[in-house]
Chain A
């Protein structure tokens, strides 16, 4: 079974600084998708960025970028120029191509709570 590990339960960053959230995963599949979701204190889960495993190029979305290292099974999220609105719980998630219904499932890490200090 796939597992997703976020080793940093909490992180903090100064406003305008850069922070990197780590995520590692374990899978035997060669193709899959990885996601970072953000859940602010208001609760709604929002997709930040996604990456398909067979694409070499790291995904970027404005101030958010990933460092995807397939061989190392690592998928870290870099937030540049951090803003107060970036404060949230960040979940790394995996979704694979297995049959039997598991291809519907997002496997989440335990989350990293990011605090942004003014």
Chain B
């Protein structure tokens, strides 16, 4: 099973709202990733967790707050977002993380609209 699941599929929020995106995998992977993808553009890496510790933060604004409660679950907490944050948010996982040959498996994404 190479499935990464993400909820919700769609999310509309106001600039003052607080919401969370959820990502889950049961492949025993120890690295998990958040990407942001604008329409017709490649994904942009936001965060990497390796063995439940934050390994990479790509200078993401603090209104995005990641959390990795356990090895199977990754959350992205959203607060005071801007309209330009509207995008597809993709989660991915891989077996070990720091190994270049490690294949990243992507979830279907959450389509976020900020009003």
Contacts and interface: CB of A to CB of B under 8 A. Distances in A.
B106 interface: yes
B7 interface: no
A47 B92 CA distance: 12
Nearest to A94: B100
12 contacts: A43-B109, A44-B106, A44-B108, A45-B90, A46-B106, A50-B101, A95-B100, A95-B101, A96-B100, A104-B56, A111-B41, A111-B42
Interface in A53-106: 89, 91, 95-97, 101, 103-106
Interface string B96-115: 01111101111111000000
Interface residues of A, number: 27
Given A108-B42, A111-B40, 14 more contacts: A32-B100, A37-B106, A45-B90, A45-B92, A47-B104, A50-B101, A89-B40, A91-B42, A103-B98, A104-B48, A104-B55, A104-B97, A104-B98, A108-B43
User: What class of interface size applies to chain B in its complex with A?
Assistant: 20 to 34
Among B33, B42, B56, B88, chain A packs the most CB atoms within 10 A around the CB of B42
Nearest to B109: A43
Interface of B: 31, 33, 40-43, 45, 48, 50, 55-56, 88, 90, 92, 97-101, 103-109
Nearest to B45: A105
Closest 9 CB pairs of A and B: A108-B42, A45-B106, A95-B100, A44-B108, A33-B100, A104-B48, A101-B56, A33-B101, A43-B109
A104 B50 contact: yes
Contacts of B42: 91, 108-111
B47 to A, nearest CB: 10
Contacts of A42: 108
A106 B45 contact: yes
A52 interface: yes
A113 interface: yes
Contacts of B97: 104
